[in-house]
Amino acid sequence: MKQLTGLDGAFLAMETHAVFGHVGSVCVLDPKTAPEEVTLDYLIRAIEERLPLVPLFRRRLAEVPLGLDQAWWIDDPDFDIEFHVRELALPKPGSDRQLADQVARLHARPLDRTRPLWELYLISGLPDGHVAIYNKIHHAAVDGVSGGDILSTLLDLAPEGRTVPATEPFTGERPPSALDLLGRSVLSALRQPAHALRVAGRVAWSAPGTAVAFRSLLPRPVAQLLFGEPRDPLLPGARLRAPRTPFNGPVTPHRRWAFAELPLAEVKAVRRATGLTVNDVVMALCAGAVRRWLLDQGALPEAPLVAAVPVSIRTEDQRGTMGNQVSMMLAALPTQVADPAERLAAAHHGMAAAKEQHDAIPARLLADVTQFAMPVLANQAWRLSARLRLFERASPYNLIISNVPGPDVPLYLAGAELLAYYPVSAIFDGNGLNITVMSYRGTMYFGLVACRELVPDLDRLAGYLRTELDALSSL
């Protein structure tokens, strides 16, 4: 048994009828390199062979009665792989739009908490005989890095695969009783005061940086009353305010998913020409694409948008472990800047300020603070905020943008060559748009997720990424 951290539990607590805590991906495969036809039965056998390398796939939640403490992971004694691996086929012609619509529907279904929190779908009917694998897994179990570790376990460097060491037959473990779980919660509660003192010490040690971060979340009159006028011009992020946009509203249970791909060589050419970073270019591409979409809606704010950018705080000795080791920084997204070159420069300055502000506070502050939240209280707080539309009224950011570097060598899943890898991430109340990008074999694969009602034409926004790269390349 292993207990979830407070940050892991937060991704469970935030779930409502419209907000889901899972993330996923779509892998497009060429089955011609596989040793046999890629059927559901073949895929089940291939994944079943790798299960000893991914213990998480056979672990389910054991929730503490009344939500008095964080849940525990236990080996599921009733594990049934056929429940988790499924198949469907696209009707002809099997277009990109059909694939996007089907993935959006699958992504809008919550995971069953009585079973291990993952599902995988084999999708056939794509052009050229290709197949797709859509998978989703709960964010309570993985972050971006640990999710990548799981993917690398399932993928191979050659179609022949690799030998998996023999292991003992899996039997699972007996679920703990309610009394046992409550007893463990009592022991956990006894350790909380010492943990609270350690967290308070870290916060006090970094008080100036923490105050800067806290100030950015407050309305300006309150911030001026508490802190006075900001004196440090090097931290413009401290004065960020997320303006209202059409996608900053309460989300529904329905989703849109769109995808795009851009040559990494073209992105790097812009980087070399400007002396900036690939991530700066990605932020500028997203800023430009969102700007064009907002102009279409007649809803472009005069102020810059604010992007939440996930930051891994996972150390080397934490590689290969499950759970979340992640923080978040807030960066100005210069959607108000019309000129592409000026927008790229502004994106660079916004990221530099965000990093400086983020480095000024303890890296583990988010994880430490969430450790004190009882699941029952955290869940009620999320539901109350949804009913009161608090995140719509006072969200510190407009959208999430994440850029994950990937491998530059061919990979294979069950012998089938991996042609493309598109992320499928999560959205939350008040923040109905997420843009995540993964690089693989010289291509940047963008996956955009949005609330269906807030951004009904998400494919238009995705198409603007190509338009923006053309604009930057022509400078």
Active-site annotation, residues? 139
Q: How far apart are CA 8 and CA 106, in angstroms?
A: 23
Q: How far apart are CA 404 and CA 149, in angstroms?
A: 13
Alpha-helical (H) ranges within 155-263 are 178-205, 207-215, 220-227
Torsional class of 323: left (φ above 0), alpha (ψ -120 to 50), beta (otherwise)? left
Helix (H, G, I), strand (E, B) or coil at 400: strand
| Residue 141 near residue 170, CB atoms below 8 Å | no
Contacts of 389 (CB under 8 A, 6+ apart): 250, 429, 430
Q: How far is CA 237 from CA 284, 305, 331, 371, in A?
A: 17, 11, 7, 27
Q: Is 466 exposed, middle or buried (0-12, 13-18, 19+ CB in 10 A)?
A: middle
Q: How far apart are CA 149 and CA 154, in angstroms?
A: 9
Q: How far apart are CA 434 and CA 38, in angstroms?
A: 32
Q: How far apart are CA 72 and CA 188, in angstroms?
A: 12
According to DSSP, the residues that pair with 412 across neighbouring strands are 156, 417
Q: Which two tokens stand for residue 387?
A: 């009913």
Q: Is 187 exposed, middle or buried (0-12, 13-18, 19+ CB in 10 A)?
A: exposed
Neighbours of 327 (CB within 10 A): 19
Q: How far apart are CA 446 and CA 465, in angstroms?
A: 9
Please give the full DSSP string across 270-322, using - where no structure is assigned.
HHHHHT--HHHHHHHHHHHHHHHHHHHHT---SSPEEEEEEEE---GGGTT--
Rg (CA), the chain: 23
Pick from 100, 69, 45, 113: nearest CA to 457: 100
